[in-house]
Amino acid sequence: MTPTTLLLLSTLATAPNGETVPPRHQLSLYAHSGATVYLSSKRTQGGVGGGFGLRDTVDGRWLLQVDASGLTGLGSVLAVRVGAGMQRQGWWSPAALVNLTGLFGDRIDFLTPEHVRPVQGPSLGLGLTLAPARFDLGRTQVSVLEVGVGVGTDRPGLGLFYGLTLLEVGVAL
């Protein structure tokens, strides 16, 4: 590689604002839209919608976030997520997060001779979210098509969480 090529590649690898050392903590607000659904043999809950969240990016790599969404389609549902993960540093910043998700509100219960009463409480699950098309554009973050999957418990059985975020846009504070 020539020195010019190396210089060009090192310039592209730095943040768009020319800063090479990310701040220790960078808080950002974000809005997102998509779908979340919980499926088990005892109940189904979720829908499509959108919401808002708060994210702390530590040292430009580690992510801590919390968000809430209003969902509709299977009734009115409030989805609350708390997550932690990591991202690649740079303008292209794919991420992977571990999330704890709770769904509160309307649901469809399935009653059987073995299970004659509805499951009480919210649908809770632990899962993994992958965000391969995520970009850091200075003080703005954009993510397109995030996918998530997780497991929850409907004692004594298990359920599956599925999540799809179509668009997420965040702004650093």
pTM for the predicted model, two decimal places: 0.82
Q: What's the pLDDT score for residue 1?
A: 53
Q: Residue 78 carries which side chain, given as an amino acid letter?
A: L
Cβ contact 27:172 at 8 Å = yes
Q: What's the pLDDT score for residue 20?
A: 60
Phi, psi of 60 (to 5 degrees): 75, 0
Collapsing DSSP to helix, strand or coil, 41 comes out as coil
Q: What's the pLDDT score for residue 28?
A: 96
Q: What's the pLDDT score for residue 116?
A: 80
| Residue ranges for the chain with pLDDT beneath 50 | 5-15
Set out the domains of the chain in order of their start, with CATH numbers: 23-172 (2.40.160.20)
CA distance 134 to 130: 10
Q: What's the pLDDT score for residue 11?
A: 45
